[in-house]
Amino acid sequence: MPARLPRIVAAALALMLGGLAADAAAQTLRFSNVVIDAGHGGKDGGSVWNGLIEKKLCLDIAKRVEVGLKSRGLKTTMTRRTDTFVELSQRARLANRVPSSIFVSVHFNGSRKTLISGGEVYYRSARGRVLASAISRSIKSRVTGGTRGIFHGNYKVLRETQMPAVLVECGYLSNKREAARCATPEHRHKLAEAIVNGILAVWAR
């Protein structure tokens, strides 16, 4: 038995290193284009709390994310650039036509439980989870209010898109303190930069 121990240890070490390598590979995604989806729009205002309308904030964040990604060398595709209504299936179809892409849908939250605050990131696939984790970590480290974590979600835009996809809830407009932050361009810029940095963290150049 003692003579076989080194061989057993070597095998265990090889398995451990192989697992670490696999984990490291799982933390990167190959893409050259980011489809940015500003939630709601047009007749669909989304959540309305404390004088704020979700659809307007979503578009503002989406445009800031677009600028940030382009400045770092990534291509972007927007599902909407103006206050227009776009069906959820149409957003997914548009995204699915973009090769080598990921999908990031931007939203804000609301709840009758007005003490709830913080961002949330939703995913549906394993690759989506990698992206969600990176964005959540980035928001937690860069944005006041942080994040409540990542969650599996069965949203239509996650279900019908074919690439790694996430839905980012940037905060609860129903929370007065958080709504006051979200009303400021400075806070929205920090949110956008956090999303950008989360995307860059998993981008396999």
**From CA 103, how far away is CA 174, in angstroms rounded?**
26
What is the CB neighbour count within 10 angstroms for residue 132?
Answer: 30
pLDDT number for residue 104: 99
**SS3 sequence, the chain?**
CHHHHHHHHHHHHHHHHHHHHHHHHHCCECCCEEEEEECCECCECCCEECCEEHHHHHHHHHHHHHHHHHHCCCEEEECCCCCCCCCHHHHHHHHHCCCCEEEEEEEEECCCCCCCCCEEEEECCHHHHHHHHHHHHHHHHHCCCCEEEEEECCCHHHHCCCCCEEEEEEEECCCHHHHHHHCCHHHHHHHHHHHHHHHHHHECC
Give the chain's mean pLDDT: 91
Asked if residues 54 and 39 have their Cβ atoms less than 8 Å apart, the reply is: yes
pLDDT number for residue 59: 98
Judged against a pLDDT cut of 90, whether residue 14 lies above it is answered with no
Average pLDDT over residues 186-203: 98
* CA-closest candidate to residue 91, choices 32, 29, 165: 165
Percent of the chain with pLDDT strictly greater than 90: 86
Average pLDDT over residues 122-147: 97
pLDDT tens by residue, 38-60: 999 999 999 999 999 999 999 99
Confidence of residue 26 (pLDDT cuts 50, 70, 90): low
Q: Domain residues of the chain, as ranges?
A: 1-26, 31-202
pLDDT number for residue 27: 83
pLDDT tens by residue, 144-194: 999 999 999 999 999 999 999 999 999 999 999 999 999 999 999 999 999
pLDDT tens by residue, 59-106: 999 999 999 999 999 999 999 999 999 999 999 999 999 999 999 999
CATH class label, 31-202: alpha beta
Judged against a pLDDT cut of 80, whether residue 121 lies above it is answered with yes
